[in-house]
Structure formats: structure tokens, C-alpha cells
Structure 1
Amino acid sequence: MNKDRRDFLKLAGVTVAGIGASSAFHALLSGEAAASGLRRAGVVKTKAETRLGMVIDINKFIEHRGLAQRCIDACHSIHNVPDFANPDHQVKWLWTDKFEHVFVKDTHYRQAEKLQGTPVLALCNHCDNPPCVRVCPTRATFKKADGVVAMDYHRCIGCRFCMAACPYGARNFNWLDPRGKNERGNPLIRKLNRRYPTRTIGVVEKCNFCAHRLAVGELPACVEEAAAYEAIFFGNLNDPQSAISQVLREKFTITRRGSLGTRPSIFYIV
């Protein structure tokens, strides 16, 4: 962590202590509206009625057991996600966890026994009402016009407020230098993709719906990997004629902790 970042965190601590936690956090949240409207160079402008989302068919992943790992590998290789051996330092954009962990019992207390222990794909929910955006003091996390919750790594100061605010555990902090090497001298990024930027130590990262691929008309890597199995659907949730809207009309789906009011954009067919 560099000196400027440490100085900011010291200043934030003094501010909270001096004027009270409530006032300090109101000050931090005041930039939410502006952050929601930020534009980034190279991102194609989209209509205001666009809200991108995803439907994951759990049953298709049960049928094809190796598919989830292939989706993860495709995502992590494209985005230069480092492979830290220590689970405490793990960085993940896309991962699997047990059904009962992804859909906690406080919101889904009558769970089907056949799904217990079933690995389920998880990722950032790109919430329509994202708490991570509200708490970010530097607007490093922002919501784009197409509904994607994105990040500007250069603005991230490593305060980890967004990690505390996210109820889905979808954000990861680089405790180590992702551009470095492991104890055996091997690069932490197994195969560097020079078309996508690497991150630095002290920065938070997460799934961004493959924004750089969307900008050139390509689908997210995981969607492309699962296309042959129709295991993941992707598109505009606000377009009633889109394929994803049709799936949502015809299939029973659930979201993760929808009662929190975050309005996730990731749906699951069970």
C-alpha cells in the first residue's frame, strides 16, 4: 500500500472519530448519484432502458459436471486472475460453492434435499441497487448505464468498504502482488493475457460481465463457454423480447438474498 493510500485511510479514521460515524458515512455516500452516471473511455454507450443480466441453469451444470470449471478457467485466464495457493489470499471472479452456501437458509429455509452439496456457480450479482457503489469513497466502483457494476482500478485505494458492503462475498482484495511469483518462482498469473490489464497489490477486483468483450459485441467468456449446453443465458432484462426475458417468463428462478433489496441481476433456474 503506497503512502497516499495510507494517508487517506488515516484521514478517514480521524474524520469518523472527529465528526461522528453518521456524518462521515453520509459524506462518503454523497457521491453515489454521480458514480452511477460515470462513463469510461472505450465503453459503448447503451440506451437507458438496458439492464444486462444472466440466468444460470443449475440443472445443466449438474448434468455436465466439468462445465463449471471450464467456465471458471475461461473467465480467469482472460482476466489475468492470479492463482494464490493460500485460500486466505484467494482472488476469484467466478467460482463454485455448495447450494446451501450460495442460497443461505435465512432466505431459502425450505431447501430441496437433492440440491444439498451441489456446486453452484457464483459471481458478482451486478445489483440494480448495489451497496458497493454507495460506500465507495473514491467512485472506483460505479454502475454503468447498462446496469453493469464496474471498477476503475486506478481509483481504488484499498479501503475495502465495498467488500464489507457486498452481501455476496463477490469482491476480493489483492493482499499480494498479482504480478509476482509464487514460492517456486512461477508467475501467479499462469498465462498472461496482454489484451487485459493486470491489477496491483492493495486493489479490490471482481467480475465485470466481461465489459471489454461487450464493448466489441462479444458475449461474456463464461456465457460463450456454456453456450453449447444452454446453461447460461445473457441479455437485456428490460427488453421483453430478449431471450433472457423469455427464459424468465417460462422458468422458475430464484436470486441470492433478494430480500435485502439489492435487486440482483443474476437469476438461477432450480
Structure 2
Amino acid sequence: MKESRRKFLKIAGVSAIGIGTGSVLTAFASSGSKEEKAAQAAGARFKHRAESLKAGHWGMVIDTRKIDADLAAKIQETCHSIHNVPGIEGKQELKWIWPSDYKHVFPMQTNPYVSEQLKKAPILALCNHCENPPCVRVCPTKATFQREDGIIMMDFHRCIGCRFCMAGCPYGARSFNFRDPKPFIKEMDPMYPHRMIGVVEKCNFCDERLARGQMPACVEVSKGAILFGDLDDPDSNVRKALRANTTIRRKPSLGTSPSVYYIV
């Protein structure tokens, strides 16, 4: 007990003089016990975050011309498998990214003369990580919040299941766990936390991969059909694609300013 108290005071003293979190954890991990090794591992994770990908405002460009049904299915499968999205079918289906059709994804931009190719193309839908997100404004617990780099995050532990964010999202990009999702996950990926019954989930732009210096999984498997980069950087890949192509966003008249653009 005295030894534990001494270690606690050691941490408190180091924190008081302003040493960073990683140093505090290193100070705690001194004798090699199980708890101290865990602290060392946590310190290593903080150190690893120095290699994370950063941006002023993350954005995505999806080239609908390059995505067929097979590629759309592969993108969805990859995203769902690494994020432990349960395979529940029917009305209680959960989805982070999914293929739909043009008239449902862009109901405000459809017209009688849209090409047959575009009408039949699988259009990938996901959270738009809006600049003005209504989901964030209506959440009573701040379980959904906007980061400085534009990503709209979900804190599963703070979610109380009120589903106000689902009502506030005009894109249907959020799913609710009506039942325990674990029995519906074929193979649990330990790199991402599984959810519990009664919480909302959605795409997070692969925040956990960005923290490890990796691009979102959908970008890696898209064969160049999905670009991801800094919208604040005029020399980024997404800004170059936006200058070189005609793009549209979902439901622009709502004023949410989505960060996901589509080349059509």
C-alpha cells in the first residue's frame, strides 16, 4: 500500500511540474509489474501518435466513374470488418459505408436526363463529416462532437441512445444498436472497440488509422477511386481533384457543407 501511494505521489509530482503524459507514464513504469508494463505500453501509444497524419480539414473525393458493384462491395466489406460492424440484416442493419443509387444519394440533383450509366452506378454513401453538423448540435451529452480537423466523432461511452443525432442527420449516415452486436460479428478485430446495445455508430474517417500514420481503409482498397486529404491545402490531392473535375455534394441546399465530394 505504501509503495502504491509513493508511486501515485510520484505521478502527481511529475504532472505538477508540467511533464507530458508519456513522461508521466514512463515515471510510473519503473519496477516491471503487470500494471507498470501496461503503463509503458500506453506511453508507447502516445509516442506513436507523433507519426499520425494531420490536416487542417480532412476531406474526401469519390470518383463515381471508377467504382463498380464489385469494388463497392469490397470497400464496404473492408470498412465493416476492421471496425467490427455487425452483419445484421433487415430494418436493424448497421452500416458505415454502403452502395446506393444516384436518385437516393442525390435527391436534390436528379433530373430526367441523367445518363443511364450514372443512374445504375453504385454510389457510396457515408457520414459526410459536415462543416456545420446538425448531429453535433442536437446531441445532449456531446457523445458526438466535431474535431478541429473537421472529423465528426462518436464517443460510445457517452452515448445514451436517445438517437437525436440520427434524427438530426439529413443523410441517414448513423446506425443504432438495437441488440447486442457481438453475436453478429464474424471475426472481432482487436484494433477497434466493439460497441454495445443502445449506442449509435457511424464512419469516423478511420481516425484510428490516421493516428497510426495510415490512410482510411476505403481509400487503400479503392484502386484510386477514393481520395483523402487536406481541404485547407491547395496543393493536396483532394484540392487538385476538385479543380480538375466537376463535383457535387449531397443536399447542398441544407447548408451543412459536407466534406465528401463526388466526381460525376
TM-score when normalising by structure 1: 0.76
Q: Where does the alignment leave 5 or more consecutive residues of structure 1 unmatched?
A: 1-40, 182-187
> In the alignment, is residue 126 of structure 1 matched against residue 129 of structure 2?
yes
> In the alignment, is residue 205 of structure 1 matched against residue 201 of structure 2?
yes
Deviates more, 1:89-98 or 1:107-116: 107-116
Larger Rg: 2
Q: Alignment partner of 1:121: what SS?
A: strand
> In the alignment, is residue 56 of structure 1 matched against residue 52 of structure 2?
no
Given residue 80 of structure 1, which amino acid in structure 2 is its aligned partner?
Answer: N
Quick one: which of 75, 79, 83 aligns to 1:75?
79
> In the alignment, is residue 191 of structure 1 matched against residue 191 of structure 2?
no
- For residues 262 and 111 of structure 1, the distance between their equivalents in structure 2, rounded to whole angstroms, comes to 27
| RMSD of aligned residue pairs (Cα, Å) | 1.8
* Distance 1:162-1:138 versus aligned 2 partners, 3 A rule: same
TM-score when normalising by structure 2: 0.78
- For residues 71 and 121 of structure 2, the distance between their equivalents in structure 1, rounded to whole angstroms, comes to 14
Q: Alignment partner of 1:256: what SS?
A: coil
On the 8 A contact 1:251/1:269 being kept in 2, the answer is: yes
Residue 119 of structure 1: CA displacement?
A: 1.5
In the alignment, what sits opposite 1:136?
139
- For residues 259 and 191 of structure 2, the distance between their equivalents in structure 1, rounded to whole angstroms, comes to 27
In the alignment, what sits opposite 1:89?
92
Q: Output one character per residue of 1:127-149: Cα deviation in whole Å (capped at 9) or x when no partner.
A: 01100000000000000111100
Residue 55 of structure 1: CA displacement?
A: 0.4
Q: Alignment partner of 1:240: what SS?
A: coil
On the 8 A contact 1:46/1:146 being kept in 2, the answer is: no
1:208-219 superposed matches below 5 A: 208-219=204-215
How many residues of Structure 1 are paired with residues of Structure 2 in the alignment? Answer: 216
On the 8 A contact 1:46/1:145 being kept in 2, the answer is: no
Given residue 99 of structure 2, which amino acid in structure 1 is its aligned partner?
Answer: T
In the alignment, what sits opposite 1:267?
261
Higher helix share: 2
In the alignment, what sits opposite 1:102?
105
- For residues 233 and 110 of structure 1, the distance between their equivalents in structure 2, rounded to whole angstroms, comes to 29
Q: Alignment partner of 2:120: what SS?
A: coil
